[in-house]
C-alpha cells in the first residue's frame, strides 16, 4: 500500500463528494489502487472549476481520508469511483510549497521550479514521510515534537499517527473547532452568540448526517447550534431545505423558542461558501430524521 494525493476542485467537473467518494478517469487507476486500504490527502488547486480561466482555489492540502474500495463507474466505462471513510479536514490548509520547500519531493525540479507534469496528475502516490509532514502541518495536535516523523522508527510513527487521527476525541476537537469558527460561534438557527464567563462559546457543533449513520466530520456536514436548537435538530423537530429555509415541525415547537428563530426563517450561513451545508447531507436529514418523525 501507499499514500496518495487526490486533487478535487471547489466545483469539481467529476462526480466528487470528497467526504464519501472520488471520481476519476482510468489513467489514475494505478495510483488509486496503490493507495487502496491506506490514507490519502485531498488537494485543492488554484482553478475552482473546469474552466481554464477560473481561480480562487486554495492551492493547499485540506483534508485526509482512508480509501476503502474502488468500483467501476456504471455509466462511464473509462472512469472509476474511490470510496472513502474517516474523512477529516485539517485545522489549517497546507500549501503545496513554502518558499523552496515542497511537501511532495517529486513536485520540485532540480532547478527549484515546480514540476508541472507531476503536479498535473490529479491522483498521485506520495511517500509515507511526506504524508506525515502534511498532517503535522495541518493538525495542531500533531505539531508537538513528540509526533514528528522519526526516520529511525517509521512504522511506530505511522501507527501512532493513524491511531491519533482515528480517535473520537481528536476528531471531535477538530470538527467542533472548525464548525464554531466558521459560524463565528453563532447559532445558525437563532442567530444567538453567547460566550460564557470563561470565554467558551455556548454554541455546539452538530452533525447534519449523524456519525452513527456514517456522517463525516466535515464542515459541509456541520452546523453551529445552541443547545436547544441542537436537541431539536437531532430529534427531527427542525430541518433545512436546499435553499436554507428552516423547516419546523407543526405544533411541535414551543412558541417561546419560535420567537428566537431568525426573522427571515433561513439558516445563518458561514461567510465562506465552501463551508455551507452540502445538499446531500441536508437531504439525508430531511428524509431520514425530519420526515421520519412526522
Element (H, E) at 167: none
> Contact at 8 Å (CB) between 240 and 234?
no
> Contact at 8 Å (CB) between 67 and 38?
yes
pLDDT at position 191 is 94
Q: Give the relative orientation of helices 154-166 and 168-182 as an angle to the nearest 10 degrees.
A: 60
10-residue mean pLDDT series, the chain (294 residues): 92 93 97 97 89 85 98 96 97 94 95 94 95 93 58 70 91 96 96 82 95 95 96 95 94 84 95 94 96 70
pLDDT at position 251 is 80
| CA gap 164, 199 in Å, rounded | 27
pLDDT at position 52 is 77
Element (H, E) at 36: none
pLDDT at position 33 is 98
Say what the pTM is: 0.89
> Contact at 8 Å (CB) between 39 and 130?
no
DSSP symbol at 277 = P
Q: Which residues pair with 129 in a beta bridge?
A: none
| CA gap 114, 100 in Å, rounded | 10
pLDDT at position 243 is 97
What is the DSSP track for 55-118?
A: -----EEEEEEEEEEEEE-SS-TTEEEEEEEEEEEEEEEEESEETTEESSGGGB-TTSSB-HHH
Report strand pairing: 79-95 vs 246-248: unpaired
pLDDT at position 31 is 97
Q: How far apart are the first and last CA of the chain?
A: 47
At 227 the three-state DSSP class reads helix
Owner of C-alpha cell 466535515: 218
Using CB atoms within 10 Å of the CB of residue 129, give its burial: 0 to 12 exposed, 13 to 18 middle, 19+ buried.
Answer: middle
pLDDT at position 258 is 85
CATH of domain 3-166: 3.10.590
In the chain, what are the domain boundaries?
A: 3-166, 170-293
pLDDT at position 143 is 66
| CA gap 211, 39 in Å, rounded | 20
Amino acid at each position: 500500500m501507499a499514500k496518495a494525493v487526490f486533487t478535487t476542485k471547489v466545483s469539481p467537473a467529476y462526480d466528487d463528494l470528497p467526504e464519501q467518494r472520488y471520481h476519476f478517469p482510468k489513467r489514475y487507476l494505478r495510483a488509486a489502487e496503490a493507495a487502496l486500504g491506506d490514507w490519502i490527502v485531498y488537494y485543492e488547486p488554484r482553478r475552482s472549476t473546469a474552466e481554464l480561466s477560473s481561480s480562487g482555489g486554495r492551492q493547499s492540502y485540506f483534508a485526509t481520508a482512508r480509501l476503502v474500495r474502488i468500483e467501476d463507474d456504471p455509466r462511464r466505462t473509462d472512469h472509476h469511483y474511490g470510496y472513502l471513510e474517516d474523512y477529516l479536514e485539517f485545522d489549517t490548509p497546507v500549501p503545496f510549497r513554502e518558499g523552496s520547500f515542497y511537501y511532495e519531493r517529486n513536485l520540485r525540479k532540480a532547478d527549484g521550479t515546480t514540476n508541472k507534469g507531476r503536479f498535473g496528475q490529479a491522483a498521485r502516490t506520495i511517500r509515507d514521510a511526506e504524508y506525515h509532514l502534511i498532517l503535522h502541518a495541518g493538525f495542531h495536535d500533531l505539531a508537538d515534537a513528540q509526533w514528528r516523523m522519526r526516520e529511525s522508527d517509521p512504522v511506530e510513527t505511522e501507527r501512532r499517527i493513524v491511531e491519533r487521527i482515528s480517535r473520537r476525541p481528536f476528531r471531535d476537537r477538530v470538527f467542533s473547532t472548525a464548525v464554531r469558527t466558521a459560524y463565528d460561534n453563532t447559532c445558525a438557527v437563532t442567530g444567538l452568540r453567547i460566550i460564557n464567563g470563561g470565554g467558551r462559546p455556548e454554541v455546539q457543533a452538530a452533525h447534519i448526517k449523524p456519525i452513527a449513520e456514517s456522517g463525516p466530520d466535515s464542515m459541509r456536514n456541520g452546523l453551529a447550534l445552541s443547545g436547544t436548537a441542537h436537541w431539536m435538530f437531532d430529534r427531527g423537530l427542525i430541518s433545512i431545505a436546499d435553499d436554507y429555509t428552516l423547516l419546523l415541525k407543526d405544533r411541535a415547537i414551543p412558541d417561546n423558542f419560535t420567537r428566537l428563530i431568525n426573522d427571515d426563517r433561513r439558516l445563518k450561513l458561514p461567510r465562506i461558501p465552501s463551508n455551507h451545508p452540502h445538499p446531500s447531507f441536508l437531504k439525508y436529514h430531511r428524509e431520514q430524521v425530519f420526515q421520519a418523525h412526522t
